[in-house]
Copies of this chain bind each other. A is one copy, B any other.
Amino acid sequence: MGHWIYWLDLAGVAVFALSGVILASRTRMDPFGMLVLAAVTGIGGGTLRDLLLGVRPVFWVTAPSYLWVIAATVTLSLIGLRHVHRLSQAVLPVLDAFGLALFTAIGTHKALVLGHGGSVAVLMGMLTGVAGGILRDVLARRVPLVLRQEIYATASMAGATAYVVLFRLALPVGAAMLACLGITLTLRLAAIRWHLALPVLP
């Protein structure tokens, strides 16, 4: 992956790890339980993607910088825990939205670069974006965000589809990624702000 994509990926890990820390602090876990939840959230999605695509070992085994980002996120959060705790209520879904957008873009990108087709790439984008948050919520015994009524997986799918289309049109990776990030993030943040939901059955 290109250099700036690597940094985007690390940013996604930090953001998701922070969401894990916040949830852990709400459920009054100890610092190392916090570390576990941060790690699961931060690298869970990409790990599942690599496992399914047969990339081995998974990305963070050969690039431990990912683990250090998680450790740093948890450490900094513990130092500023009062602030983390104060912010948590409003900030968790927003952080989660940034992580969702970043990981959707990177997951889609990685599947396409490995030569997989469009439908697989879209699913990988969604999985990479969604899985870490699902693991976090299942471990903390909450209803996963993805299973609530607000638009969530839809945002990820729209972003991933845009990426695939622009990639097929041979646009530069940067443009495709920007479009994917913009679409996913806008849809998800709008869904949070105005409680947008797809219609459910009558």
Contact = CB atoms under 8 A, between A and B. Distances in A.
A117 B64 contact: yes
A168 interface: no
Nearest to A191: B30
Contact of A201 (B36, B52, B85): B85
B139 A144 contact: yes
Interface string A53-70: 110111011001001100
A154 interface: yes
A120 interface: yes
B67 A119 contact: yes
So how many copies of this chain end up in the complex?
A: 3
B58 A54 contact: yes
Interface stretch (A2-10, A11-19, A145-153, A171-179): A145-153
Contact of A29 (B85, B134, B200): B200
A89 interface: no
A189 interface: no
A194 interface: no
Contact of A52 (B25, B53, B57): B57
16 contacts: A27-B147, A28-B200, A29-B148, A30-B197, A30-B199, A51-B51, A51-B52, A53-B61, A54-B56, A54-B57, A54-B58, A64-B120, A67-B119, A82-B202, A85-B201, A141-B143
Interface of A: 24-25, 27-33, 35-37, 39, 47, 51-54, 56-58, 60-61, 64, 67-68, 81-82, 85, 116-117, 119-120, 123, 126, 130, 134, 138-141, 143-144, 146-154, 157, 197-202
